Copies of this chain bind each other. A is one copy, B any other.
Amino acid sequence: MLLDSGLVMMTDSRTNAGVDSISTYRKLHIYDGGDDRIVAVATAGNLSVTQGALHLMAEGLPSHDEGGEPDTIWNAPTMYRVAHAFGRALKTAHDEVKASLAEAKVPSSASLLVGGRVGDKPLALYLVYSPGNFIECHSDSPFLQIGETKYGKPILVRSLDYYSTSLEVAVKLGLISMDSTIRSNLSVGAPIDMFVIPSDTARMPVHHRIEADEPYYRSVSDTWSERLIEAHNAIPNPPYF
């Protein structure tokens, strides 16, 4: 979620290779360069491909400028160039395995959300696809999703507003969206990793892992269920009978 108030990134942490092979992997990665830059990357899709992409980025990519230093997160001049570099890394990792995975009928596609700030420029958020192309989040639709996107989308469509949604409310809505997804699909599960960068640079970023049994998260889930029932009770019965 990219709002006037800041950037909120959230991931679940479940991966699976079939329902009998489920494990917990961190899907939210923070690159903290202090005052110079801060970048967060969320991953979805084939785990070997996203791990490969992050590894290539850590090594540094062949420089765009002939004979130059390798391109890294740390020397990219803008968030656009950070996203572009992640696109190159993801495409390289994907290209290496896509033919053999297709032969084994294993899905190879993967995607990334790349958000953050370089220098004193505004916060930005990008969605990077396996072929290396990427799109930027804008205020008309102030969120991007990857992975199991559909169950949790309606609450965001109805409730997020770029100008008026605070970071606190955005985190709450993100947890409701995640919880709706977790209740609908076994392949999505807690803990939920959360990273928040306020637009106001006087406020510190917040990094937190939310376990399934954390009292606040449980209260969001339970209260939301109760309130939904109140909400549809408040709507009159249909006139069709």
Binding site secondary structure of chain A? helix
Which candidate, A56-64, A81-89, A113-121, A223-231, is the interface stretch facing chain B? A223-231
Known contacts being A155-B228, A225-B158, A231-B228, is A240 close to B194, with CB within 8 Å? yes
- Cα distance A175–B239 in the bound complex, in angstroms: 13
Query: For the complex, is A169 an interface residue (Cβ under 8 Å from B)?
Result: yes
- A228 contacts which of B159, B220, B237, B238 (Cβ < 8 Å)? B159
Smallest CB separation, A190 vs chain B (Å): 15
Contact mask for chain A residues 188-213; partner B; CB cutoff 8 A; 1 contact, 0 none: 00000010100000000010100000
- Cα distance A105–B64 in the bound complex, in angstroms: 37
Residues of B within 8 A of A208 (CB): 240
- Cα distance A154–B224 in the bound complex, in angstroms: 12
**Considering the complex of A and B, which 5 residue pairs feature the smallest CB-CB distances, nearest first?**
A150-B150, A227-B231, A154-B180, A168-B237, A208-B240
Could you write out 6 A-B pairs with CB less than 8 Å apart?
A: A159-B232, A173-B232, A206-B240, A216-B238, A227-B231, A227-B234
**Chain A positions near chain B (C-beta within 8 angstroms):** 150-155, 157-159, 167-169, 171-173, 175-176, 180-181, 183-184, 194, 196, 206, 208, 216, 219-220, 223-225, 227-232, 234-241
